[in-house]
Amino acid sequence: MSVLDSIIEGVREDLAMRRLPLAQIREELESAPPVRNVERAFSNPEISIIAEVKRSSPSKGSLAPITDPAALACQYEEAGATAISVLTERRRFGGSLSDLDAVRARVDIPILRKDFMVDDYQFLEARAHGADLVLLIVAALSQNQLDDYFQLSRELGMSALVEVHTNDELERALEISPQFIGINSRNLKTLEVDPAAFAELLPRIPESMVRVAESGISQRSDVEYAQEYGANAILVGEALVRSADPILAMRELRGTR
């Protein structure tokens, strides 16, 4: 079993324990906060940063305790983040939907629910808790699931960041014409990071789409490398949560220190 398979197995087990009756989750949807305009947020010509609230990871273990995720998110927003990514997977990343609720209540920029989305219910749940953007990992989904979940996200008013690792996955992603495509330089099946994925895959994404570079970005030179190949957004977690000064770390990544 690959790391990705193991994570998904845990996600399904946890979901089975917290799943609400369909009528109840639909009732919660009725009182969900309005969706924020994600496309407009990413229309800035400067590099966009999706700053992540992330306590741990399968590859690095514990990263930071983050006792107040909302306060961290506020620092990101102050430093110019375009959106906040909130990990809600519990077993490997130490996240929760409570983190999502707390962050949503304190910042005014779009929120990405960062999780392994493998069930229709999770999309209803994401929107009920205020997510504006969800993650679709191509490696974890069949083509039918990818298309269905993309359409479901749109029906609920949310945008989708479609994440790929290989040429084949990028071809599958382009078939559904998403607005956001993320190139993850970390292979979720092996956890190895190879920045060459940016050079190989980013130039193949149409310029009309938001091209997000993910993983392995910790300093300004990494940002410039990704930009060289076409990235107009980056997603950063570890470098920010491990920094003693997240605001300064954000400004260094943006080149505005």
Catalytically active residues are: 52, 54, 114, 163, 184, 214-215
Distance CA 209, CA 191 (A): 26
Residue type, 221: S
Q: What region does 157 belong to: left with phi over 0, alpha with psi -120 to 50, or beta?
A: left
The C-alpha R_g of the chain, in whole angstroms, comes to 17
Among candidate residues 190, 191, 202, 123, the one with its CA nearest the CA of residue 157: 123
DSSP string, 129-187: TT-SEEEEEGGGS-HHHHHHHHHHHHHTT-EEEEEE-SHHHHHHHHHT--SEEEEESB-
Torsion of CA 173, 122, 36, 98, to 10 degrees: -130
